Structure 1
């Protein structure tokens, strides 16, 4: 499904939305289109035509509560590990605990990695030392406001000017 970047009234990136939700916000006059889709696609209804948005901006400012730690979610973990298995580098589809929870491992950023199905199954509830395995990268806690933007990996190239603001 096509994703649309949602900006706060201050042009700060908030999140990505499905196209349907973005169009609903625009039609309800809660948001305005900042940037149209580069393909020139349009949506038709019985009484109107609207260009497909790529970036929309809320008309009213929404205060975002300050969080010291990024919440651990499946989508955020996969994005942190670039959808790659931490053990073999193939495409990841599951989450694995480096120190298994059955052996006292916690469900925290530093203990969770993305994993492919075969590696996750092979590792089971064993430690890396028992298998002679090593991690390709050390799991760390992601930092920065841009981690709120969970959606399409890499995002739309048209979002680059707006994303640069969140990295600053």
Structure 2
């Protein structure tokens, strides 16, 4: 089922919801449709255009949002799906400082790696192998990472995510140097 970008009344991105939830928001006048997906949703009495982006009619106060959660999908998005050591397609997650040697499972210590590099590195430190990271791992910043890290993307969302760092995020995901 398609997903819909939900914006606060101030146009701040809040999250991504299933199409069914977005339709309920629109039908209950809790949200208005800003972008349509092009599909029609039919009921017994009428047909509605399926939304792609909705904006809430009332402002919702969002409590403090902590750092972006470290998930496999968000990690691959941050690293652009490329190995942090050799640059080929990444298929696994690697800890720069191995957990067996006291490394933590944090954004600063986790990178995407290809199977070959991950196997060769094993539980050694990169200085022992003479390797270097292609880029220093760091936590992603910006509201757009919360949306893009879900794995749901729609080109119609881009104008609403650009003020919140979507250009950098999408460039990394698509493999384009920003």
**TM-score under structure 1 length normalisation:** 0.81
Query: Helix, strand or coil: the match of 1:126?
Result: coil
Q: 2:116 aligns with which of 115, 118, 130?
A: 118
Q: Structure 1 residue 68: deviation in Å?
A: 5.5
Q: 2:164 aligns with which of 159, 163, 166?
A: 166
Alignment: residue pair count: 164
- C-alpha spacing 1:135/1:20, structure 2 compared with 1 (3 Å): farther
Which blocks of at least 5 consecutive residues in structure 2 are unaligned?
Answer: 166-178
TM superposition outliers: structure 1 runs of 4+ over 6 Å? none
User: What do residues 137-165 of structure 1 show as CA deviations (whole Å, max 9, x unaligned)?
Assistant: 11012222322223347x43322321233
Query: Helix, strand or coil: the match of 1:26?
Result: helix
Say whether the 8 Å CA contact 1:12–1:165 is kept in structure 2.
Answer: no
Q: Structure 1 residue 12: deviation in Å?
A: 0.8
**TM-score under structure 2 length normalisation:** 0.77
Aligned counterpart, 1:77: 75
Q: What CA distance in whole angstroms lies between the structure 2 residues aligned with 1:41 and 1:59?
A: 23
Aligned counterpart, 1:25: 25
Q: What CA distance in whole angstroms lies between the structure 1 residues aligned with 2:119 and 2:24?
A: 42
Q: Structure 1 residue 101: deviation in Å?
A: 0.6
Aligned counterpart, 2:132: 134
1:89-128 alignment to 2 at 5 Å? 89-128=87-126
